[in-house]
Chain A
């Protein structure tokens, strides 16, 4: 059974600070997805990581994938209030886009 574990589950940050969200998964999948969800809204795709060592960046967010360690990270640089949301990672079970999600990290960025 695929397990996807995120930590921390809750994160309160000051604006301007840096932090990292971790995502561990249990399969040999080499695909990892990151999504953002605002309260009461749908899920928005942030990154799709497809190979070991993949790194993608968009604005203040950078995601990386280490398939050997079965670990992905989402790094937040100089956080701003607009980044407050819940961030989910998801892993494929069969490299088939059939994503299984972690529990999510609820990020709050405070002034």
Chain B
């Protein structure tokens, strides 16, 4: 059963700490997305990669957020330093472009910064 896997599922951290979220896209998918969901802002596209190259990270606060794909099976989203306003659910999603237009979401990483 192919699925997008995210870790950690839940994270509580103190303000100022570094947070790293990881995503394993569906095997063979060439496009990976990072979304953030909050009650106030809804679902926001933070960044996405195709064939491991960043295509758009304009939705990501550059001063504290960074996204990378060290290899085709791993995407990371890092926040350093974290702030309470970063509390949200972070979703990773993957797809196979252009063969398929269906994007599959992971279960999300629930982040609370206190």
Chain A residues in the interface with B (C-beta under 8 A): 31, 33, 35, 41-45, 48, 50, 88, 90, 96-104
Does B103 touch A at the CB level, under 8 Å? yes
**Cβ-defined contact, A45 with B45, below 8 A:** no
Q: B91, A98: Cβ atoms under 8 Å?
A: no
Expressed in whole angstroms, the Cα–Cα distance for A99 and B103 within the complex equals 9
Let me know if B106 and A45 touch, CB within 8 A. Answer: no
Q: How far is the CA of A28 from the CA of B109 in the complex (A)?
A: 33
How extensive is the interface on chain B, given as a class?
20 to 34
Known: A42-B106, A42-B107, A43-B91. A98 touches B101 (CB 8 A): no
Contacts of A43 in B (CB 8 A): 91, 93, 105
For B45, what are the chain A residues with a Cβ–Cβ distance below 8 Å? 98-100
Distance of A36 from chain B, by nearest CB (Å): 11
Question: Please, how many angstroms separate the alpha-carbon atoms of A90 and B93 in the complex?
Answer: 14
B56 touches A48 (CB 8 A): no
Cβ-closest 10 pairs across A and B: A101-B43, A43-B105, A48-B101, A42-B105, A42-B107, A103-B42, A45-B102, A97-B97, A97-B95, A48-B102
What are 19 inter-chain pairs, A to B, with CB distance below 8 A? A31-B101, A33-B101, A33-B103, A35-B105, A43-B91, A43-B93, A45-B102, A50-B101, A90-B43, A96-B55, A97-B101, A97-B103, A98-B45, A98-B55, A99-B45, A100-B45, A101-B43, A103-B42, A104-B43
Contact with A along B48-88 (1 / 0, CB 8 A): 10000001100000000000000000000000000000000
Residues on B with C-beta less than 8 A from A31 are 101
Is residue B108 within 8 Å, beta carbon to beta carbon, of the partner chain?
yes
Check if B24 is an interface residue, CB within 8 A of chain A: no
